[in-house]
Structure 1
Amino acid sequence: MNDSGPGGGGYFWCLRHDRVESGDDVCPAQFRLGPYASADDATRALETVEKRNKAWDAEDARWTGEVS
C-alpha cells in the first residue's frame, strides 16, 4: 500500500469523529478504517466490518466443527 502522506490517499472512516476523512485532514491510523475508494464506501465502513466479522465467525465455526 502506498502511504504517501498522512492519509495515504483514499477515504477513511474516523472512529473518533464518526465521519469520512481524506487528504491531509485525517486522524491517526489507530482511529480510522480504510482506505476506501469513495466517500460513500467509507460511510458504510462499519457495515462492511460487521459483514466481514460475521463471515469470518461462520468460517471459524465451520473450521472447528461448531454448530451455530
Structure 2
Amino acid sequence: MSDSGPGGGGYFWCLRHHRVETGDDVCPAQYRLGPYATAGEAERALETVEKRNAEWDAEDARWNGEDR
C-alpha cells in the first residue's frame, strides 16, 4: 500500500486554505507547498520552511563572515 496520496502525486500544503490537499483536489502551484510523501509531512510544511530558512540564513552569515 502506497502512502503517496491518490494517483501517486503526493500531499501538498495549501497556503490559501491551510489544509493538506491531494489528487485532483489541489490548488494551483502558487498556493501550495510540496509534494510531501505523507499527510503528516505536508501538515508540517510551514515548520519545515521555517527550519530550512533559519539554516540557510546561518549558512549565508557564515559565508559572509558575519557572527550570528
Where on the TM-score scale, by shorter chain, does this alignment land: which range?
Answer: 0.7 to 0.9
TM-score (norm 1): 0.88
* CA offset digits 1:2-37 (Å, max 9, x no partner): xxxxx9700000000000000000000000000000
Unpaired segments of 5 or more residues in structure 2?
1-6
In percent, how many aligned pairs have the same letter? 81
Unpaired segments of 5 or more residues in structure 1?
1-6
What code does the residue aligned with 2:38 have?
S
Question: 1:3 maps to which residue?
Answer: none
What code does the residue aligned with 1:32 have?
R
* Aligned structure 1 segments of 4 or more residues deviating by more than 6 angstroms: none
**Is it true that 1:45 corresponds to 2:45 in the alignment?**
yes
Q: Distance in 2 between the 1:13 and 1:66 partners?
A: 34
Question: 1:54 maps to which residue?
Answer: 54
Q: Distance in 2 between the 1:36 and 1:61 partners?
A: 29
TM-score (norm 2): 0.88
Q: How many residues are treated as equivalent by the alignment?
A: 62
Q: Distance in 2 between the 1:24 and 1:46 partners?
A: 22
What code does the residue aligned with 1:38 have?
T
